[in-house]
Amino acid sequence: MSVLMTMRVTGSPSGLEKLAADNGALFQEVLADASGRGLISHHFYGNQGEILVVDEWNDEASCHAFFEHSGPQIQQMMTTAGVTAEPSLEFWRHLEVGDDMG
C-alpha cells in the first residue's frame, strides 16, 4: 500500500520557484530519478516562509532509498532555494473509513 510523505521546511517559496524557473532540467532529472525509485506523485506548496512537499510513494522504504541516493543533490537544491532548517519528514498511511473523494 502506498504512503504519503510530507516534508516541511522553513524557507523561501519564491526562492524555490526561482530555482525551478532557472534550473528546470535539474528538477526534471530529480523527478525522473524519484519516479524510477517508486514516486507516484509529487507536489510543492508554500506559505509565508515555509515549503511543504507532499509525495506519494510505493512504500516508505522507496522514499528512504531515494533520499539516500539523491540526498546531496536535494540538499544543494534546498540550500540554493533558501531553506534555513533541517527538513521534517513524516509518513502517513491511508485510513479506510469509507469517505474518500477524488
53-92 residue pLDDT tens: 999 999 999 999 999 998 888 888 888 888 877 888 999 9
E strand intervals along the chain: 3-10, 39-47, 50-57, 88-93
pTM: 0.88
- Counting Cβ atoms within 10 Å, is residue 57 exposed (0-12), middle (13-18) or buried (19+)? buried
Which residue's C-alpha cell is 510513494?
A: 57
Contacts of 27 (CB under 8 A, 6+ apart): 20
Question: Could you tell me the sign of the dihedral formed by the alpha carbons of 37, 38, 43, 49, in that order?
Answer: negative
Beta bridge partner(s), residue 6: 54, 90
Mind listing the pLDDT tens digit for each residue in 20-43?
A: 999 989 899 999 999 999 999 999
